[in-house]
Structure formats: C-alpha cells, structure tokens
Amino acid sequence: MSADTDTDADAREQLIDLAEEFYEQFEGGDVPTMRIPTRTKSNIEYDEDKNVWVYGDRESTRTAKTISGAEKLLKATYTIDFLARQLDQDRSSTLRELYYLSESWDVDEAQFSSQDESNNLIEDLEIVSEVKREDFHMRPEESGAKVMGPLLLREQTNRGDREIHCQDDVGQGGYQIPNNPDTIEFLDNDAEFVLCVETGGMRDRLVENGFDDEHDALVVHLGGQPARATRRLTKRLHDELDLPVTVFTDGDPWSYRIFGSVSYGSIKSAHLSEYLATPEAQFIGVQPEDIVEYDLPTDPLSDSDVNALESELEDPRFQSDYWTEQIELQLDIGKKSEQQSLASYGLDFVTDTYLPERLDEMGVL
Amino acid sequence: MSADTDTDADAREQLIDLAEEFYEQFEGGDVPTMRIPTRTKSNIEYDEDKNVWVYGDRESTRTAKTISGAEKLLKATYTIDFLARQLDQDRSSTLRELYYLSESWDVDEAQFSSQDESNNLIEDLEIVSEVKREDFHMRPEESGAKVMGPLLLREQTNRGDREIHCQDDVGQGGYQIPNNPDTIEFLDNDAEFVLCVETGGMRDRLVENGFDDEHDALVVHLGGQPARATRRLTKRLHDELDLPVTVFTDGDPWSYRIFGSVSYGSIKSAHLSEYLATPEAQFIGVQPEDIVEYDLPTDPLSDSDVNALESELEDPRFQSDYWTEQIELQLDIGKKSEQQSLASYGLDFVTDTYLPERLDEMGVL
C-alpha cells in the first residue's frame, strides 16, 4: 500500500519524535504531557492564506498527573510503537483492527476500552504529529465511491501498477477509488470539470445519459457523506489538473453539509483541511431557489431539518451572503427536494436542462 | 443498459398481457382484479425441487370494487405504460425516479403518494408478471459491491463491451459490480471458490494479504445486506462456473440474515429466489462456536440481538440442526463478535489461520 517510502520514513520519524518527547519529559523530571487543539465548532477559524477552516488557538492538555491522563499517554505510546512497526513492515490496518489488536498488548491498561477511544487517539496523533492517518498506513474502513470520465490514471497497488482509463477500461460501475488515493498518478485527461454527485441513483442517471462523455465531466460519486479518500481525490483533481469542482446534492440541510465537507472540511478533521478540502468547490444544487424556480416536488421540512438549517446559519463555514440567502429562503418556504425529484420533468431533464443551465450560470460550461 | 433485446421484448409482452387482462375483465363486464401472493413470513415455504424458499399458496386480491383498490389498478396501468415505453426506448430508471416521474402523469389519481407505494407496486408487478425488475430496466439505486480475484469477464456497457480481469485490470478497490450483472459474461477463470465478505475492512484485509491470489478465491464484497446485483452475481458464479460459495460475516443475528439472503433469499423477494439465491452457499463464520473456540473479543448481546436470534429460531430459513445449535449456543453465551475481532491475534491470523482452518473443515480448501 505504500505510495512513497520517503513519506513512510517521515511519518515514522514524526511518531518516534512524539514518544521521545515523553521520554525527555520523564528524564528531565517533568510529568509527561501532550497538548492538543480543542476540537469544537467555536475553535475553528478561517485561514485567509490557505482558504480553509482550521483549528483556532485553544488547546487542551493531556497530563500523566491523573491516572486517566497517564493511561491515555500509555495508550499513545503503545499505539506509536504499533504504527512504527507497521510502517517498517510496509503493512496497513484499519481503525477497527487497531482497537482489536490492542487486546494482544501485554499491559492491560494500554488496551482500548472502546472503539471511540482508539479512533480519538489516532486523530490526536494526526493533529500532534502533523502526519495524516493515511501516512501511518491506517486505512479508512471503506469508501465505495467511484469515478467515471475522461481520465487516464496509474494506480500503484500492492500487486504492481495498473493503468486505467475511467471510461474505456471500466464497466458501467466506473473506477473504484482506492482507500489511499495518493497511490494514484494522473497520466492524461480530456476533462473540463469535476461533478461530485451525492446519490448513486443520480450518478447512474448521469452515466446512462452519457453526461460525462458529452460534457467532458469527471463524475465522482460521493455516496452520501464523502469518505476521506473521495475528498482527497477531488482536491487532487482540482489542484493538479486545474479543474473546476462542482457539487450536486439533494436540497436539504444534511446535503449542504456534504457540500461543506468537500469544500471547507469538517470540524472533526479541521487539521486535515489543507489535505482534504477544496475551498474553490461550487454548489450546483438542488438550491432552495431551484425548488421555487423549477417548481420541484417537495417534502415538508421536519423539526430536525429546521434545527439543522438554523445551526448552519450559525456555522462559520456557511457565513456567506449566498448561503444565508438560500437557507433563509428554505426556512421560509418550509420545503426540501431531492436531486431525483428533477425526474418529475422526465428522465433527461437533469442532463438536458437543469445541469447545463446551472453550470452555465456558474460559469463552468 | 440492455443485455438482451429478446429479454426486453419478453418483459414488455408480459407487462402488456397484464394490462390486457384488465381490459378483458372490463370488456367482459367484470370488475378488474389482480391476485398477488401474501408476502409474510408465514407464507413462505421450502421448495424441495428448487432448493429455495418461495411463496406459499395464500393470496390477496386487489379489486376495483373499492376506490382505493381501483386507484391501485389505475397506478398499475400507468406504471405498465411507462415501463413498456422505457423498454421500447432501451432506457432505464430507478424506483426513486419512477416515484417522481408519476408527478408528470396526467391523472392525479395515478400519481404515487409515497415511495413505499411505488416500490410495492413494482414488486407486485414482478410477482404477477414473473418478470424481474432488472428486465423492466428498473435499476436498483446502487450496489457499491466489488469483486477481486482470478476472473476475466466481459461487461456490456451502454458505451460498448469491456473486457476486465478482476485482478490485473483493476485497482486495489477491485471490479465494481454493475447494477445489472446479467450484462456480464464470464470468459475465463482460475478460481477455486467464491468468498463473500460482509465488511469493507475485512475485504481490504484479505486483498492486502493477497488471499485471493494465494487461494484462487473470488472475494466478493457484500457491503452489509447485499444488493440484488451482488446476490445475482454470486449465484451466477456458482451456477455457471461451478464454484463453491462461502459467506464470511460478523457473528451476530443481523449477519446471519446477510448469509440467509445470499443462500435462501429474502421474504420480501421470495418470488426471486430462483434468480437471486444460492442455496448451496456455506457459512464460514464468525460462528458462535468460533467465539468460544478462538476465545474472540466479544460484546454482550443486546435485547434486540436476543430478540433477533429468537426470531431466527422460528424462521423457516434457519430450521436446520446446524443453525439451531449455533443460535442456541449464542443465546447461552450471551455474546457476539465481529469479523475484525480476529485481529486480536494479529493482522495475518484471519488469512493464515482462521480461514484456512474453517475452509478445510468445510471441505472447500
């Protein structure tokens, strides 16, 4: 799975440095501590230079002064040891495997008592070491997302390199994004833009209607809240191939969060925004404005929809005139629409009318 | 998307026949009716010849004698009309699109009031016409499942044929199963057996460890409750390539249902058992017996787990000595284990020890 042995060696070193710090604190007669940025909504702020949301200045401290603090640092050292060996051997594992693996560790206090605990520790290590989980060789559980469009790539698999064209060499299902998309090299493309699509049904509609072919679009299926691998690939398509990125979702507050995680990153992984977020991504819709303008079939907003919209009005990631206007309009009309509701005008309306109109308005087509 | 224009013509004819029946009933002065098998657990029975669970004799009748019955038949005729035109034009659509499309129909009473209503109607039409949904060109929403192993296939896509080897021509993510796997033709293979795997994490572990390569296994990722496409492909791998099919899931009642849907079909789709179910499929585990024998990390059974196990003891699909023994053992120990819990013995235990031992016991390896 290793894309780059230099990256592996760097990651290993960063981890060992962390452990060394504990060692030096002990040696100097100090109680070991680890400082971590506070991970709450009130502690994320906009980085003007990098154009993404990152953690603010607030930090919390793990210290071995308390039993529970000491146990946390013990678990951290055992995990660092496991990760360093994993990198040495060029293996990889999942968060879930790490949780179970800890049962084989010789000190009971180092074992994780829940999956949340091991997940959080890995996130802490990512933040403190400034090394991405993928570079520790911690694979995400699965992505399931896929790409269809005029793109030739080379993927480094653990059985050798594979050259794949994401239209000519794949079935109707498209090219399956691997867990670590940094194993991919882009060789050639005829693409004009990237179109990220929330639902499988809409992705299949676009592929059946040949939208990727007709408009030279790279159709990336998000599959609901996008996995890290999908967000990373999208960012690389933007940065390396200089392609505009557009996001097409349902018209409800949960889908706006999907757009938000593609474009601004998420609160849980603000430390990875630079790696995962595509701040230049543009929202196609379904916009509340579209619900009105195209007179789409709707469902009424539920109480939890209304709460989610109100919380988005407060969310720093949605502080723009555009989003304020759209969200207030939606609260006003009290309705939401799915992307597939466009089918109420026929199966080709989305590819013949809606998307070309929207992409033209947005200056993409 | 059409695999076979003969199939399309047949499907179209079956649908038209149904509509014709209503017409004849009208013409003969009778109130139109449609008879449908009752779809409940008490009305599925074992078909000794075909070795799968099918509907029993109980039927319910839709009749135009009541307003709601008449509306149902009206919706059926509009849907038949839509499907017949879709087949004519060699198009396809999803259940969700059908629901929204109905908004464009000229008679308000023919429009669906909920997605459940249109879903159920399509299932009714499948049962009564004996044509599979895929042959109506109603695509499932998405599958996301994938295959890795020594298999060369040809997929007929709507942009031409694609020849794909499921190890040499795919990335680490494998070959993406299309929504209609009957577009696939098997060209060549070196496979010894099929290994269906519930979770993405375990699928990735097997692929990373090269299990498919070392044991000539076709690793099929189920991704939880398997989609129709995945079950259909699994059945075809068994029937056409004469390969033993094994299923590897978590050790809990919900996962036994996943095995059950691969091997015996599901209650909701008992009319499709012959097309989707692989009665010869064998369960690898995690068995309750393995939890004890390998001393795996466990979680306690929740109340809903216990209820699900007790309901499985009553389920005709689990009426065998093997399942009775395993389920009673699990109720007795009060514990469940995930497939990834095998990682408590190290990352290679599952591929070096557990699977070879189990497959040897089962006579597969």
Per-residue pLDDT tens digits for B35-94: 888 877 778 777 777 767 778 888 888 888 899 889 999 999 999 999 999 998 888 888
Helices (H) and strands (E) in chain A, counts: 14, 17
φ/ψ (deg, to 5) at B93: -155, 175
Predicted confidence (pLDDT) at residue A90 exceeds the cutoff of 90: no
The two tokens of residue B344 are 């408590």
Judged by a CB distance cut-off of 8 A, whether residue B159 touches chain A is: yes
Same domain assignment for residues B48 and B81: yes
CB contact under 8 A, A169 and B169: yes
The CATH number linked to A67 is: 1.10.10.10
Measured CA to CA, the distance from residue A349 to residue A347 in angstroms comes to: 6
CATH of the domain at B357: 3.40.1360.10
Q: Is residue B169 less than 8 Å (CB to CB) from chain A?
A: yes
Instruction: Give CA–CA dist A258/A231, Å, rounded.
Output: 10
When the pLDDT of each residue in chain B is averaged and rounded to a whole number, the result is 90
Q: How far, rounded to the nearest angstrom, does the alpha carbon of residue A336 sit from its chain's CA centroid?
A: 25
Task: Please name the member of A164, A208, A297 whose beta carbon is closest to the beta carbon of B103.
Answer: A297
Spatial CB neighbours of A29, under 8 Å, sequence gap ≥ 6: none
**Of B139, B174, B192, which marks where a domain is finished?**
B139
Whether the Cβ atoms of residue A273 and residue A52 lie closer than 8 Å to each other = yes
Whether chain B has a CB inside 8 Å of the CB on A323: the answer is: no
A87-96, A117-126, B250-259, range with greatest mean pLDDT: B250-259
Q: How many domains does chain A have?
A: 2
User: What residues make up the domain containing A29?
Assistant: 3-139
B204 touches chain A (CB under 8 A): yes
Active-site position among A23, A100, A264, A322:
A100
Which of the residue ranges A48-52, A153-157, A283-287 would you say has the lowest mean pLDDT? Answer: A48-52
- Same domain? For B230 and B184 the reply is yes
Give contacts of B201 with chain A, Cβ < 8 Å. Answer: 94, 96-97, 139, 141-142
Q: Say yes or no for a CB contact (<8 Å) between A96 and B340.
A: yes
Nearest to A178 among B104, B172, B346 (CB): B172
Q: Which two tokens stand for residue B134?
A: 């895929």
At B143 the pLDDT is 65
Q: Do A202 and A135 have their domain in common? A: no
Nearest CA in chain A to B299: A114
CA A97 to chain centre: 21
Asked if pLDDT for residue A3 goes beyond 80, the answer is no
- Considering the domain architecture, whether residues B336 and B211 belong to the same structural domain is answered as yes
pLDDT in tens, A231-242: 999 999 999 999
pLDDT of residue B6: 77
Q: How many CB atoms lie within 10 A of CB B169?
A: 17
Whether A23 and A125 map to the same domain: the answer is: yes
Q: Is the model more confident about B271 or about B174?
A: B174
Please give the pLDDT value at position B91. Answer: 86
| Angle at CA of residue A221, ends A217 and A226, nearest 5° | 130
Average pLDDT, stretch A54-68? 86
Put simply, the chain A residues between 75 and 114 with a CB less than 8 A from any chain B CB are 91-94, 96-97, 100-101, 103-104
A57 is in an annotated binding site: no
CB B105 within 8 A of CB B111: yes
Question: Does one domain contain both A238 and A109?
Answer: no
The answer on A265 and A345 residing in a single domain is: yes
3-class secondary-structure state, position A335: strand
Interface of B with A in 267-306 (CB under 8 A): 297
Q: Which of B110, B139, B168 is the last residue of a domain?
A: B139
Mean pLDDT of A336-346: 93
Looking at the complex, does the CB of residue B348 fall below 8 Å from at least one CB of chain A? no
Beta bridge partners of B219: B148, B195
What global pTM score does this model have? Answer: 0.87
| Chain A interface mutation, best of B108, B207, B212, B344, highest count of A Cβ atoms under 10 Å | B344
d(CA A63, CA A86): 27
A169 reaches B (C-beta below 8 A): yes
Residues B176 and B261 in one domain: yes
Strands (E), B150-263: 151-157, 160-165, 175-176, 184-189, 193-197, 217-221, 245-248
The annotation status of A250 as a binding-site residue, yes or no, is yes
Name, in order, each residue with C-beta under 8 angstroms of B197's C-beta and a sequence gap of 6 or more. Answer: B203, B206, B219, B220, B221, B222, B248, B249, B339
Q: How far apart are CA A260 and CA A258, in angstroms?
A: 5
pLDDT digits (tens, 9 = 90+) for B268-321: 777 788 889 999 999 998 999 999 999 999 999 999 999 999 999 988 788 899
* CB spacing of B343 vs A168 below 8 angstroms: no
Q: Could B94 and A340 be called an inter-chain contact, meaning their C-beta atoms sit closer than 8 Å?
A: yes
Instruction: Tell which wins on pLDDT, A337 or A43.
Output: A337
pLDDT of B5 reads 67
pLDDT > 60? residue A2: no
Contact criterion met (CB below 8 Å) for A179 and A140: yes
In a shared domain, residues A160 and A272: yes
Residue B67 and residue B205 share a domain: no
Task: State the residue for tokens 């149904």.
Answer: B18
* Confidence category of residue A325, pLDDT binned at 50, 70, 90: very high
Which residues neighbour B250 within 8 Å (Cβ) at sequence distance 6 or greater? Answer: B198, B199, B286, B336, B337, B338, B339
Are residues A210 and A104 both part of a single domain?
A: no
pLDDT band at A44 (very low <50, low <70, confident <90, very high): confident
Task: Give the model's pLDDT for residue A1.
Answer: 40
Beta partners for residue A59, in sequence order: A37
**Percent of chain B beyond pLDDT 70?**
97
Neighbouring residues of A315: CB distance < 8 A, sequence distance ≥ 6: A41, A260
Percent of chain A with pLDDT over 70: 97
- Taking one residue from A and the other from B, the number of pairs with CB-CB distance under 8 angstroms is 175
Residue A183: its chain B contacts at CB < 8 A?
Answer: 172
Q: What is the pLDDT of residue B240?
A: 97
Residue A89 burial class via C-beta count within 10 angstroms: exposed 0-12, middle 13-18, buried 19 and up: exposed
Q: Are residues B42 and B165 in the same domain?
A: no
pLDDT tens digits along A127-152 = 888 888 888 888 876 666 899 999 99
Amino acid in the structure at residue B131 = V
Q: Do A208 and B176 lie within an 8 Å CB cutoff?
A: no
CB B279 within 8 A of CB B51: yes
Task: Give residue-wise pLDDT tens across range A146-163.
Answer: 999 999 999 999 899 999
pLDDT confidence band for B142 (50 / 70 / 90): low
Q: Say yes or no: A177 contacts chain B, CB-CB below 8 A.
A: yes
Domain edge (last residue) among B71, B105, B139: B139
